[in-house]
Amino acid sequence: MSHALKTSDETAEPALSPKAKAALSEGKKAERRLGLLLCAPAILIMAAVAGWPILYSLWLSLQRYDLKFPDRTEFVGLDNYVTVLTNPYWWNAMWVTVLITVVSVAVELVLGMALALIMHRTLVGRGIVRTSTLIPYGIVTVVAAFSWRYAWTPGTGYLAETVAGGDPVLTEKIPAIMVVTLAEIWKTTPFMALLLMAGLALVPDDLLKAAAMDGASAWQRFTKVMVPVMKPAILVALLFRTLDAFRIFDNLFVLTAGSQGTSSVSMLTYNNLIKGLNLGIGSTMSVLIFIAVAIIAFVFVKLFGTAAPGGDGGGRR
C-alpha cells in the first residue's frame, strides 16, 4: 500500500520466506485450516448481516417497487438511477452533505489538534481535562441534538434569543445548515482530539528536543517534526470523521428533519424509504451512498496512503 509499508515488506521478505516455505508442513497446513475454520463463522455472519442487505438493496434498486402500489412492482433496469441522478432534490442533498462534511471535518481537525496538544501537555489535572473534553462525545447524539434544537428555538432558547436576536434560525436553509454543522463539530471534535492525541504520543521527545537545539521555533517544530510523524494518525482521524460526517442523519433529523432543503443524502433516503415506502427509489439512493462512501475510503487509502485500522502501523515514519 503505502510507500513505507512496501519497503518494510521488502526488507522483511528475504528473512521470512525460506522459513515460511519450509514451514508448510502437514502441521502448518492443519493449523491454517483450523484458522480458516475459526474465521468461518465470522465471515458467514458478515456475509449475512452486511453482504445480503447490500445485494438485496442492489436488486431492489433495479425495480419499481412501492409498498403503496404492490400491484405495480416491476423490473425497470437503471430507471431509478436516472430518476435520482436527474433530480434536483438529490443534488441539493448531495451538496448539503458535502458542505457539512467538508466544513465540519476541517474545523474539527484544527480544533481537535489544538485540544490534543492541550491534553498532551497538561501537567495539572490531566485526568479532569481529558474527561471534560470528552463529555460532548459521550452524550447521546439525539439528546444533544434536542438541546441544540431548544437552544435555537425562539422563545425558549438562550442561543436564539441572544445570538440570533429571536430569529427562528432553524427554518432558514443556510442558517440551519450552519447550526447543524456547529452541532456536528461540537459533538465530534473530542473524538478527533482523541485520535490525534494517540498520534501525538508517537512523536519522540528527543526529536523535538533536537529540533529545538537546532533553533526551530515552536511553529516549525509543529509543522516540520510533529505533523509528519503524526501523518498516519491524522489521516486515519480524517478518514473516520469524513465517512461519519458524510452519513450525517441523527443531528439533522432532530434539528430540521430536512425541511427547507436541508436534507442530507441519508435524510433523503430515509424520507423515500421509510416515510414514502418507495423501496425502489430509496434503495437506489442507499446504493449511491454506499458507492460514495466507498469512493471516499478509496481516495483516503489509495491516494493519501491511510493505513487501514489494525494494519501494521501503516507508515511509522
Residue 246 found at the interface with another protein (CB under 8 A): no
* Cβ closest to another protein, residue 89 vs residue 222: 89
Least spacing, CB of residue 71 vs another protein, in Å: 9
* Cβ closest to another protein, residue 92 vs residue 122: 92
Nearest to 315 by CA among 306, 208, 225: 306
Residues 208, 210: Cα–Cα separation, whole Å: 5
Task: Return the range that interacts with another protein (CB under 8 A); candidates 99-107, 133-141, 144-152, 265-273.
Answer: 265-273
Among 29, 121, 275, 302, binds another protein (CB under 8 A): 275
Nearest to 91 by CA among 275, 250, 282, 265: 265
Residue 300 found at the interface with another protein (CB under 8 A): no
> CA–CA distance from 37 to each of 25, 45, 48, 69 (Å)?
18, 13, 17, 46
Residues 172, 180: Cα–Cα separation, whole Å: 12
Residue 158 found at the interface with another protein (CB under 8 A): no
Q: What is the DSSP letter of 273?
A: I
Binding flags for another protein, 171-210, as an x/- string (CB under 8 A): x---------------------------------------
Residue 253 found at the interface with another protein (CB under 8 A): no
Binding flags for another protein, 45-74, as an x/- string (CB under 8 A): -------------------x-xxxxx-x--
Helix (H, G, I), strand (E, B) or coil at 122: coil
Among 44, 45, 174, 277, binds another protein (CB under 8 A): 277
- Total number of residues that touch another protein (CB under 8 A): 30
Contact 154, 160 (CB under 8 A): yes
Residues 81, 272: Cα–Cα separation, whole Å: 14
Residues 219, 235: Cα–Cα separation, whole Å: 21
Q: What count of Cα atoms within 13 Å lies in the side-chain half-sphere of residue 162?
A: 4
Among 230, 268, 301, 307, binds another protein (CB under 8 A): 268
Which residues contact another protein by CB under 8 A?
64, 66-70, 72, 83-84, 87, 89-90, 154, 168, 171, 258-261, 263, 268, 271-272, 274-278, 280-281
